[in-house]
Amino acid sequence: MQLKRVVVTGIGAITPIGNNLEEYWNGLINGVSGADYIKQFDCSKFKTRFACELKNFDPTQFLDKKEARKLDRFTQTALVVSDQAVQDAGINTTTMNADRIGVIFSSGIGGLITFQQEVVEFAKGDGTPRFNPFFIPKMILDIAAGHISMRHGLRGPNYAVVSACASSTHAIMDAFNLIRLGKADIILAGGSESVVSEAGVGGFNAMKALSERNDSPATASRPFDKDRDGFVMGEGAGMLVLEDLDHALARGARIYCEIGGAGATADAHHITAPHPEGLGAKNVMLATLSDAGLKADDIDYINVHGTSTPLGDMAEVKAIQAVFGEHAYDINISSTKSMTGHLLGAAGVIEAIACVMSVVHDIVPPTINHFTDDPELDARLNFTFGQAQKRTVNAALSNTFGFGGHNASLIVKKYVA
């Protein structure tokens, strides 16, 4: 069977450093930090009092006020990026077969804010079960995919993927595979996350996963720095419109790039910690290269998982060196989480978007907040510290790894007719 080629024809993004694709990309290449003190709740008693929240986000600018009240914040942002991506791709269901257009949209946690609010309200009462009838439909993490399909009338494959921080990369991978197998013409793929709440911050604090650098939020996310002390929580959403190349050409669509390949593995090691030698990370990069039919030397840029945790950054670097050998020194590596924070289930898609734009514009976004070299990391590697670098990017690799040992990688490459 001849597999179909799959291209990207639309993008949507709402992130802590920009509420649309243009703003997001400009924020990345200019090294803007999205971290600041938390505005969504009183965090004065928490160990971590900052995050990368969305700026100037008012859902009623995009959604009817009554409709917005029925949606958790993670679904609100999902609908915003779906509108952006559908418009960007020029999707019109009056002229296209909506039965062949699907949605695979993920979240790592889903409606945690709604869950927290409902349970707290119940606990305040006399024990009589009084819950909002929208409690469950607001909370379940597949509901964003459902709302996107209903909003745009898309009747193709429709479901959610959950694999913690690897979720949205797995969503893109599933969309890629369904299209190249001929099961759909177009799939809207991505993810959203919004858990900057007492439960979210408190839970990750209890795990000692978050940075506690409250004296300097803007510089707290510092991947590969000797003094990194944990990740910075982020929120937002992203979407890629994946499309069968023949379908895209037939309708005259603008093509950003081609999806080269994707892979998935497991660490089979620990519920939160990565394999110390990066075994799962190494295997997923090898699997993705094989799926794309590329050699290690073909990769120009790696957008790493790079969460700014002591163990995670080290393991990923070991994996990169094991896979790429001497070529690792010719690759640009960067962690855009230094700017956006960690969007958990939405991290993969916004980082895939960064790779797409790098391929389009031949610019690699930086890793910011580097102050002290880590003597345990090879200084010959180009972590793109400080500022964006111009270089030809024919192929870029995006890594995402999730609690539970879930690993997913994706390759995007320049489209050649």
Active site residues: 165
How many angstroms separate the CA atoms of 404 and 10, rounded? Answer: 31
| Residue 50 near residue 217 (C-beta atoms within 8 A) | yes
Q: Which of 398, 395, 394, 105 is nearest to 264 (CA)?
A: 398
Alpha helices in 181-329 (DSSP H): 198-206, 245-250, 279-292, 310-324
Return the biggest CA–CA distance within the chain: 67
Q: Find where tokens 């720095």 sit.
A: 225
The two tokens of residue 224 are 């590969």
Phi, psi (rounded to 5 degrees) for 361: -105, -5
Q: Which of 323, 274, 304 is nearest to 400 (CA)?
A: 304
Listed in order, strand segments (DSSP E) in 93-207 are 101-106, 158-159, 186-193
Q: Print the SS3 string covering 76-111.
A: HHHHHHHHHHHHHHCCCCCCCCHHHEEEEEECCCCC
415 DSSP 8-state letter: -
How far is the CA of 391 from the CAs of 362, 384, 385, in angstroms? 5, 11, 15
- SS3 label, residue 351: helix
Burial 87-112 (b: 16+ CB within 10 A, else e): ebbebeeeebebebbbbbbbbbbbbb
Q: Which of 196, 99, 101, 103 is nearest to 142 (CA)?
A: 103
How far is the CA of 326 from the CAs of 8, 112, 298, 309, 330, in angstroms? 31, 44, 13, 25, 8
The two tokens of residue 332 are 């640009």
How many angstroms separate the CA atoms of 83 and 152, rounded? Answer: 8
Q: Which of 177, 186, 112 is nearest to 156 (CA)?
A: 186
